[in-house]
Structures are given as structure tokens and as C-alpha cells.
Amino acid sequence: MTTPFQKDFLWGGAVAANQCEGAYLTDGKGLSLVDVLPDAAHGRWEAIMNPQLALEGQYDFYPSHESIDFYHHYKADLALMAEMGFKTFRTSISWPRIFPNGDDAEPNEAGLAFYDDLFDECVRLGIEPLVTINHFDTPLALMKKCNGWADRRVIELYENYAEVIFKRYKDKVKYWLTFNEINMILHAPFFGGGIDVTKTANPKQTTYQAAHHQLVASARVTKLAHDINPNFKIGCMLAGGVSYANTCAPEDAWKAVEANRENYFFIDVQSRGEYPSYSKRFFKENNITLDIAEGDLEILKAYPVEFISFSYYSSRLVSADPEVNKTTEGNVFATLKNPYLKASEWGWQIDPLGLRTTMNEMYDRYQKPLFVVENGLGAVDTPTADGKIKDDYRIAYLAEHVKAMGDAIEDGVECWGYTPWGCIDLVSAGSGEMKKRYGFIYVDRDNDGNGSLARSKKDSFYWYKDVIKSNGASL
Ligand code: P53
């Protein structure tokens, strides 16, 4: 059987520390900003957009505090992933596990030891770790002290953190991502940058200044990484998804250009090493004046990323007409309803061909290897009386997307691997729910924190095992 996937294609799955580990104060961990967020029923999204609520709130339940307790279950969980044949496992290191306050003089040894054990276990099972350095969980102390990434000093703190983990895991981890969904800072500045922009005079100014700090930090640690181990592969990470024009009106087409540039802006800097030409006009029209320190532009230019990773759940649809835009549905990424697409129970529109389009556009633009590090369907799973999970809807979603990825590869796109999101059920970032499940592995836990935490295999577990075993030919 033929397959578009190369022999060493990295099949696997993805999670993030703050959404699966739990153990939020164990072994000296400090609080991350996600640890003060409540669940959906208590206004999670309001708190994300209004961080003061999160900082002052006294909620009954914080989904991240226990989550699926991966911290204490990782060995058994990794064994299940190995059983599916995982070649790679994407997770993140929790920054406040290593530096509980973000600016501590010494790292927390117990936190470092946890990741030693985790990566040793991956290596033992023949699973290559793919590690995000910062996935939404900036230490809360930094947010309180200096409004997170709005403050330039955070660059050095991040660099120091990166140096500690690069040196410690240099023989265990090869693939690193500097920031999860770096463009998230535009849509949810609290998640992306640990910043509260609600009280600043020009929120865009604060946001893009913080983004500049992250871009410089990303380039600086790319340099650092190669000084420590020349074999390291350093990538960026984008919340991806092409924006289409609502009609063939040229104004709509232009709107789509702008919407796509808003995203690509970050990768333009991280991959090409300089601010794109269109940024000048954008900054001017939005009254943004970046404070760029001496040496910043040189470091951006000298240390671009080697590969480009991204999440893809959905395409987006935009219009230039304010009347049409009034009907825009909320969600992290504003989008119109596309009449040609079906949507998930959470309103995320399902568009496998959009993945092929996204991959082709990104490869044309950057000519660097891609890595699809998130994709999947958040859905409610209802176990049958005998405890089975018949998630044919998830299999259908993933099969279509894997085929689209295969098409992109046949189009000539270089792609290193595929790590679908939430390969084991975990807490949703946007809603804090457990019932929005993505996994091949079911976890017995509900939105309110009830459940035995027992793990079981869904139908998709066996499906994905076949996909990996046949290197995509079983589709
Ligand atoms: P959830 C939307 C909202 C929050 C984070 O999202 C997001 C997105 C979509 O791009 O980004 C990623 O859990 C993120 C993961 C997250 C996943 O999407 O709200 O990197 O942390 O869990 C899915 O369904």
C-alpha cells in the first residue's frame, strides 16, 4: 500500500502541562496564571478576558489543580501511548514547577527531577519528546509583579529558565517549541502573555510590545539552544487556520489578506528574522510604537527558527462589511459561519481541506519544514453500558484531516509529524471543561472534578494504532 508519509514520520499526540498534570502545588510548584481560572460555569472566559476577576476571585473549583493528575499517572499513560505506537509525545514544561515565582535565584530541583523521570520514560519507550517551553502557564507571580510579558525583564527570566532546562535535558529532548500559539497574545493576552491589557490606554500597544519581547526571547533562546546542543531543533508555534473571504468582493478578499497577515506576522518574524514590510503601516494606523532595544533586530535576524509548527482545528471566514460582521460568532478567533461547513458541538467549523490549504500557504511562504502539533475534535463522549467509547465522529474528523495532510505532503510540503491534541482527555483551555474531550484515551472525570481518574481505550485508540502501524496507509 502506498502512503505519502515518509518512513520516519513522527506520529504521536500532544498535551500541555497546565491542562493535564494537576498536582498544582506538589513538590514546590508555584502558581501559574491558569491556576486561578475557574471552570466554564463560573465564568472562565470572562476571567481570561478580565484578568482582575481571576486574580481577585474566590472560586469553588479550579480545573487545573487536579486535572487528570498526569503528574502521578504518567508512566501508565505513556505505556498506553507506546501501545498505540507513538513515535513522539508533545508536552510542555511547567515554568512555575521549575521557577515557582519566575524570578527565583535557584531552580526547584524537585520540579526538574519530575521531567527527568518523564523524559527518561519517553526515551525508554522509544518516544521522542517534543517540548513546549511556555504553554499558557507563565508564573502568576510575574503577572502580579510586572504585568507579565509587558515587562522587558521577563525576557531574561525566560532565557534563564530555558537555559536551565536545555542543559538539564540536552541528551533527552531534541525538539523544542519556544511559545505555544504565539499569536494567542492578540486574542487572549492573559493566556498568551500573562498580561492584563484592560486598563492600559492603548491595549494594542501593550500587546504588541509584549509580543516583541516574546519574539526577542524566542530568538535569544534559539541561539542559546544551539550553543548548548547543536543538534537541537527549535520551532515556533502558531494557532493556524486560513481565513477565507466571505464573498468574491475584492474588499472581502483584502480583508482575508489582512486576517491572514495578522497571524503570519509572528511567524514572519520568527522564520524570516525581521518585521514584515506591512507591519509599518499597521503599527502607524494603530498608534503602536515599539520600544526596540539595541541589538533586538540583529538577534531576530541571526536566529530564526528551523521548523514551523502550528495547531489547526478550523478555517475562518471574514467579511469587510460591518453589517455582515455583526453576525460573527464569538470564540477565540472571530469567524463568520461558513455555510459549506459543519461545526463541532462547540461551534468549531470542520474543514479538512482548509488544513491542506494552510499547509501549502505556510510552506510557500517560509519554505521550512512544518509540524502539525495540534488538531482534533472536542466532543462529548458517552461510555456505553459496558464502558466502551464509540467515537466514530472523532475517527471521521481525524481521518479526513490526516488525508488532507497527506495531500499537502504530496503537493510537495515537507512535514515532520502529526501530534493530535489531547491524545489523552484533559481540561479544555478555553472552557475549563472535561467533557470537551479530544483523546484516544478516556479519563473518568467530569466537569466538577468527580470520577475515578481511570483510563480506558476509545475506539479511536485502535484506529490510530492502525494508522501509525501502517504509516497512514490504512486510511
Ligand atoms: P480547547 C482556543 C482557545 C484556547 C486555546 O482548545 C486554543 C484555542 C484554539 O486554537 O488553542 C489550543 O481546549 C491550545 C490548547 C487547547 C486547544 O487549542 O479550548 O494550544 O492548549 O487545549 C484546544 O478546546
What pLDDT is attached to residue 331?
Answer: 63
Residues taking part in catalysis: 374
Query: What's the residue count for the chain?
Result: 475
Tell me, yes or no, whether 203 lies in a domain. yes
CATH number at residue 452: 3.20.20.80
Q: Average pLDDT for residues 46-73, to the nearest whole number? A: 96
Nearest residue (CA) to ligand 1, atom 22: 429
pLDDT tens digits for 23-35?
999 999 999 999 9
330 CB-contact burial (10 Å; exposed 0-12 / middle 13-18 / buried 19+)? exposed
**Is 370 among the domain residues?**
yes
Is 94 a domain residue? Answer: yes
DSSP string over 234-255:
EEEEEE--PEEESSS-HHHHHH
Any atom of ligand 1 within 6 Å of the Cβ of 311: yes
Rounded CA separation 354/375 (Å)? 12
pLDDT at 93: 98
For ligand 1, whether the C-beta of 180 sits within 6 Å is: yes
pLDDT of amino acid 323:
86
Residue 296 lies in a domain: yes
Q: Domain for residue 5, yes or no? A: no
Cβ–ligand 1 distance for 374 under 6 Å, the answer yes
CA of 292 to the centre of ligand 1 (A): 30
Confidence label for 316 from pLDDT (cuts 50, 70 and 90): very high
pLDDT (0 to 100) of residue 407: 98
**pLDDT of 329 over the 60 cut:** no
Q: Where are the beta strands (DSSP E) in 324-470?
A: 342-343, 349-350, 370-374, 415-418, 441-443, 455-457
Distance CA 59, CA 42 (A): 8
pTM beyond 0.90: the answer is: yes
pLDDT of 332 > 90? The answer is no
Could you tell me if the CB of 429 is within 6 A of ligand 1?
A: yes
Split into its structural domains, the chain has a count of 1
Closest CA to 197 of 82, 73, 49: 49
How much distance in Å is there from the Cα of 397 to the middle of ligand 1?
Answer: 17
Residue 325's pLDDT is 79
The pLDDT of residue 327: 64
40 lines ligand 1 (CB under 6 A): no
Q: Is the pLDDT reported for residue 1 higher than 80?
A: no
Could you report the predicted ipTM of this complex, rounded to two decimals?
A: 0.96
Q: Is residue 141 part of a domain?
A: yes
On whether residue 475 sits in a domain, the answer given is: no
pLDDT digits (tens, 9 = 90+) for 131-140: 999 999 999 9
Give yes or no for residue 182 having a pLDDT over 90: yes
Domain limits for position 73: 10-469
pLDDT tens profile 281-295: 999 999 999 999 999
The residue whose CA has the least distance to atom 21 of ligand 1 is 429
Q: Is residue 457 domain-resident?
A: yes
Mean pLDDT score, 263-290: 98
pLDDT in tens, 421-459: 999 999 999 999 999 999 999 999 999 999 999 999 999
